[in-house]
Structure 1
């Protein structure tokens, strides 16, 4: 089951990231790394952050336990959907009404002219939050039936729609292209929702919604709703929200750090936001392909084993997953740093994206890659806390590492620019890993680390990769 779920999630993430790289390649070719690309990335950053946080487990880790234990699953699910949809609708209207203030908040360093250009772009992209929540909600319901493929592959539709929007608007001026790209985001959100319709019908969720709607009507009518039913639904919702907010913070340190970096980069030279965006996109690939995919597949197994008092079985599954993840990320780390220039050149250089942009983005990417191991491996140990319903402790750990990263960013950005922000992000990852291991327990951690075959695999892989890539760079390199 673990292998099948991992392969489904991993292949879906790979498909999505391939289209994502094609999108970024096309965006770099048309918009380059300058004022207009910075405007779009600022506008898209918050909804994209929201998508990553929700889509990478924070919602599912909170919703599924409450959904499983709920006696009236339909009523509970519709209640959660209604609450979030209404809150996000109100939030979207507030962003529309106070677009200038929100844009200034997202881009402290933009001048008045840039703020005026970015305002409507921010509003358009903000409506994607409503769509992406619905997508996440529907995907989580399908996970309850062990159907992972829709949640894994639906993000590709967002990228396809954005590529289509770029293609349609390619011959217009740069600001118009940014508008086309923003509307492409909304079209992608609608497409992501539509792909869920048939699987939801197949697994009987529309019947569940109908039954749940009937229960909600009774709950909203005080004269007909039994007191125990109302209390049960209220308790389910309280339990969900009690776990949800710590889970969001606990599983989103890397994404929130990247979001803060983008805000701080608005104070730096033009193009800094774009360098961070392109570099972080590549950094996120191995993190999602291996760390997020295996964590998504591992969590139900660990949670079930702990619930059944099978601690040894849970630790055994974690050790196997840890070493697989360690070896995969170790290989990505070495390859990414050694081939940093060549990777950025291959993916982005051309059109409005020049050699100087390639070299700057490559340096930022290398600094991000230093944090790949700590950010990725910390997810294994965070699962232990979530399985024990210690979302509060996980949130505290994330908050400490996040504050530490912000302090490092403020200390490094003025001397090192965008590269300094990337270094600070990696330092935040190291702090997250250290605190997660300490909470997990040093004795259990050393038990996982005591695996000679794993260390031998790391050594052989590292030496072989350095030799092979060193030979390749001797004959071909970008400078």
Structure 2
């Protein structure tokens, strides 16, 4: 199975999840709009979801897979089972204790970490009795957080089982499992909208839906692991050398791999000081997560095992080639996506969300945030290309320093810019921190001679930039031509038609330019069309 085929397997499964995530977010926007219940749900969900992104999207695998693969090679399947059982039992015990403590001290966590803005919230006497009070916003945030917190434990255990599947090169089940969350929440929202439930009730139902989805996802990967002929046993936790090594690697790896989500979490915590800002950030986050998830997760999951195998076998030239082609693949897909999302965010947001409780006045604010997030899209994916270069060599300290520097910069920039341009400042800070992180990671590899840039990468990257900019110019011209179709007063079908024309023509222009200039590998493209592996 070629590297591109593996990217396609994980990326395709993730794409399915992201598409249904769009549907979920659209229904949520219609049901809750930009308001206190939506803010409470997003704040409560972000905390356990942060851990899902930290672990499930490669960080835990970065530490677990090399150690598990070594056990499998040196001690056979029995030794690998013993190691996996040690990890599973220890992880299970820690997560149960953490969940109990979090449930008890959730009011404190909401005040200090999850939503500090609610602790200083003051009711506006002129708002009238139809607005949810600050005390009520705080209470429902605490309640939603308590309901959803066990989702964190489910996702952490799922990450470990997914690591076993990935080590056996079985990527599909772990990649498609997150789709269950979207299926369940879409079902909950569909029933609630049909029943005419009020916003607070919908928030409660969605919170329980998240919890149920967590258990369903864990069950799915456990079944897949058993079908692969592997199993783990729950036993009394024991402190071993291998477990200590795993924790030494996993802590920094989680921090490094989840820098984007950490930045988003920090941004939402700061945004809690302004009503509606949290929901604005969340709704803008969804569209750019589509290319980020499809490309970034695929690279993060597939590249590490490939690099680790090449380095262990002493095939340094193959490792360098794999790194360069992975970066080439990331830029080829993310640069045009970033340009398009920066140029046409408002029509996209209007078509996706502007209905039901989502009022037209919210569209420009969400679109502005999406445009700023889009500028950081290539950097977020590039970081997922660079970090396996460290992880495959069991070096987590160097990228951890880069991550800490960029996270610190994000906090400082978010705090400063939020008071100047509100939620747009948080989005801009996240983007700048993403580029700083990617730059530091690449600089570390390049200085140590762990990344040799080949001429092919330089040439194709330059041509990808040129093709993306030309595509952007075409998009700008088309927006002027289709201006009447894109107006808020136009029928929804007309607006959707206009966006489909914009997107399809932009893709046609970009791929035509990429093939004509050589930004895309013509031989590989023709091989994909013929459904056979390219020669050489």
Q: TM-score, normalised by structure 1?
A: 0.91
The count of aligned residue pairs is 459
CA contact (8 A) 1:29 1:349 kept: yes
Equivalent residue in structure 2 for 1:163, among 186, 195, 214: 186
User: SS where residue 44 of structure 1 aligns?
Assistant: helix
Closer, same or farther: CA 4–452 of 1 in aligned 2, 3 Å: closer
C-alpha contact 2:66 2:392 (8 A) present in aligned 1: no
Q: 2:166 aligns with which of 127, 143, 150?
A: 143
Alignment match, 1:116: 139
- Indicate which of 256, 259, 264 corresponds to 1:250: 256
Once the two structures are TM-superposed, the CA of residue 403 in structure 1 deviates from its matched residue by 0.2
Alignment deviations for residues 169-200 of structure 1 (CA, whole Å, 9 cap, x no partner): 33122111100000000111122123234422
Kept after mapping to 1: 8 A contact 2:386/2:441: yes
Instruction: Report if the CA contact (8 A) 2:65-2:305 is conserved.
Output: no
Larger displacement relative to structure 2 (295-304 or 13-22): 295-304
| Distance (whole Å) between structure 2 residues aligned to residue 448 and residue 58 of structure 1 | 31
2:154–2:215 CA contact under 8 A, matched in 1: yes
Provide runs of 4+ in structure 1 moved above 3 Å: 442-450, 476-479
TM-score (norm 2): 0.82
Q: Are positions 1:104 and 2:105 aligned together?
A: no
1:406 to 400, 408, 411: 411
Going from structure 1 to structure 2, the CA distance change for 1:450 and 1:36 (only over 3 Å counts) comes to closer
C-alpha distance in 2 between matches for 1:450 and 1:100? 51
1 CA distance for matches of 2:336 and 2:301? 21
- Measured after TM superposition, the shift of residue 396 of structure 1 is 1.1
Contact 2:324–2:457 at 8 Å: present in 1 too?
Answer: no
Q: How far apart, in 1, do the equivalents of 2:271 and 2:406 lie?
A: 20
Q: Using the alignment, how far apart are the partners of 2:4 and 2:463 within structure 1?
A: 24
Equivalent in the alignment of 2:66:
65
Structure 1 residues not aligned, in runs of 5+: 221-229
Instruction: Determine if contact 1:335/1:469 at 8 Å carries over to the other structure.
Output: no
The equivalent position to 1:89 in structure 2, one of 89, 92, 96, is 96
1:345 aligned partner: 350
CA contact (8 A) 2:311 2:319 kept: yes
Q: What RMSD in Å do the two structures reach over aligned CA positions?
A: 1.9
Match of 2:424 in 1: 419
Deviations 1:275-331 (A, max 9, x none): 101111222221111122123212211122222222221111111121121121111
Give the CA deviation at 1:336.
Answer: 0.4
Secondary structure class of the residue paired with 1:205: coil
**Residues 59 and 450 of structure 1: is their aligned pair in 2 closer, same or farther, counting only changes over 3 Å?**
closer
Q: Does 1:237 align with 2:243?
A: yes
Q: CA deviation at 1:462?
A: 2.4
Question: Would the aligned equivalents of 2:320 and 2:452 in 1 still touch at CA under 8 Å?
Answer: no
Q: Between 368-377 and 434-443, report the one with greater CA deviation.
A: 434-443
Q: 1:205 to 1:345 in 2, by over 3 A?
A: same
- Asked if structure 2 preserves the Cα contact closer than 8 Å seen for 1:16 and 1:153, the reply is yes
**Structure 2, unpaired ranges of 5+:** 122-134, 489-536
Q: How does 1:317-332 map to 2 (within 5 A)?
A: 317-332=322-337
How far residue 264 of structure 1 moved from its aligned partner, in angstroms, is 0.2
> Which stretch of structure 1 is more off in the superposition, 300-309 or 19-28?
300-309
Q: Distance in 2 between matches of 1:133 and 1:450?
A: 36
